[in-house]
Amino acid sequence: MTKLKIPAFISFLTFVFSLTAAQNPTSKPATHRPVTPQAKGQSDKDAAAKPALPTTAEVDAYMKRSFGYDPGVNWEVLAIRQSTVPGIAEIIVSVNKGEPYHLFYSSVAQLAFVGQTLPFGPNPYAAARAKLQAAFGPSRGGPNSPIQIVEFSDLECPHCKAAQPIIEKLQGDFPQVHFVFQQFPLPASIHPWAMKAAQYADCAGQMNKDAFWKYVDSIFDNQGGIALATADDKLKELATAAGYDAQKISTCAASPETEARVKKSLELGQSLNVGQTPTVFINGRTVLGPASIPYDNLKNLVQFEIDHAGK
């Protein structure tokens, strides 16, 4: 994952989040509020657990006040939403077009911290496993295996490129495991042609699942030669080399159905709090940056999950 060049940001695991909302706690922003109907009989206490979220303008004001002294620092607020923890907002920010940071903010304490939430309990990955039953991308391995490895990947992401041979090696070492590839293109402000590549690759998976893997490898191999202005031509050229009809895959990539499928894949990842690529789930367990993990450790982890299937 791209690292920030401003030590002050990543060193503050807990810091005061000075937002306008702190000065006017009764204000209710018009945007970034989840559209969720209140259930009948919901108590005031339950409603209080979902305080008004800060607005993009308020988060932007905080960033300007904290980091405006450095002209080399720029940022984009990607999302503001309720976190999985009641009463805590999740704010996703990209700094210097790097991969996102997650801030968790309490309007009551007026504090925020940088990090991630972790599942807990005797079977901490069961909830994620249940959600991942909806994974629908191109797959390899035993379809009825109790162990599933799902990768959320961005085809413009250099870290995904580095992870791909590792994932393929795991596939070779554990052919009985079900491997699924899900599209998760990051915003265009970070990776300009990632969405277009995701649409082409989604079509490739629909047209010929066996050739899909060759096509994905070729996109990773040619990342440096693809730009937004020439992405269509390059992606068609690579598709032809992988055995696809260039015109058919181009037409498919531009269709509303393909856009909907990529959006569905993004939504699945977001429901699992995917915020960077690649994110891999091994039997529901989140693994970030597999290319930076010693391969023997990854093998041991997969074997451990096989040995604990259903637990």
DSSP string, the chain: -PPPS-HHHHH-SEEE---HHHH-TT---SSS----PPPTT--HHHHHTSPPPPPHHHHHHHHHHHHTT-TT--EEEEEEEE-SSTT-EEEEEEETT-S-EEEEEETTTTEEEES-----SSSTTHHHHHHHTT--S-EES-TT-S-EEEEEE-TT-HHHHHHHHHHHHHHHH-TTSEEEEEE-PPPTTTSTTHHHHHHHHHHHHHH-HHHHHHHHHHHHHTGGG--GGGHHHHHHHHHHHTT--HHHHHHHHTSHHHHHHHHHHHHHHHHTT--SSSEEEETTEEEE-GGGS-HHHHHHHHHHHHHTTT-
Tell me which residue range forms the domain holding 64: 7-114
Phi, psi of 115 (to 5 degrees): 160, -145
Handedness of CA 295, 132, 204, 196 (dihedral sign): negative
Give domain status of residue 23, yes or no: yes
In-domain check, residue 2: no
Domain assignment present for residue 20? The answer is yes
Same domain, 150 and 281: yes
In a shared domain, residues 71 and 48: yes
Collect all residues with Cβ–Cβ distance below 8 Å to 225 and sequence separation of at least 6. Answer: 234
**What is the C-alpha end-to-end distance of the chain, expressed in Å?**
31
Q: Is residue 119 part of a domain?
A: no
Tokens linked to 246: 């260039």
Residue after which a domain boundary falls, among 114, 136, 169 = 114
Claim to verify: residue 74 and residue 140 sit in the same structural domain: no
Please give the pLDDT value at position 40. 43
pLDDT at 33: 31
Specify whether 110 is located in the same domain as 165: no
The total number of structural domains in the chain stands at 2
Q: Does pTM surpass 0.85?
A: no
The CATH number covering residue 185 comes to 3.40.30.10
Q: Are residues 165 and 278 in the same domain?
A: yes
Domain final residue, candidates 91, 114, 137: 114
Does 221 map to a domain? yes
Domain identity same for 131 and 262: yes
Q: Which of 114, 135, 165 is the last residue of a domain?
A: 114
Count Cα atoms within 13 angstroms, Cβ side, for 206: 17
Judge whether 1 lies within some domain: no
> Is 182 among the domain residues?
yes
pLDDT of the chain, 311 residues: tens digit per residue: 433 344 444 443 333 333 333 333 333 333 233 333 334 444 445 444 566 799 999 999 998 998 889 999 999 898 898 888 888 998 988 888 777 788 899 888 888 888 777 888 888 999 999 999 999 999 999 888 889 999 999 999 999 999 999 999 999 999 999 999 999 999 998 899 999 999 999 999 999 989 999 999 999 999 999 999 999 999 999 999 999 999 999 999 999 999 999 999 999 999 998 888 999 999 999 998 899 999 999 999 999 999 988 66
Instruction: Examine residue 25 and state whether it is found in any structural domain, yes or no.
Output: yes
Write down the pLDDT at residue 51.
67
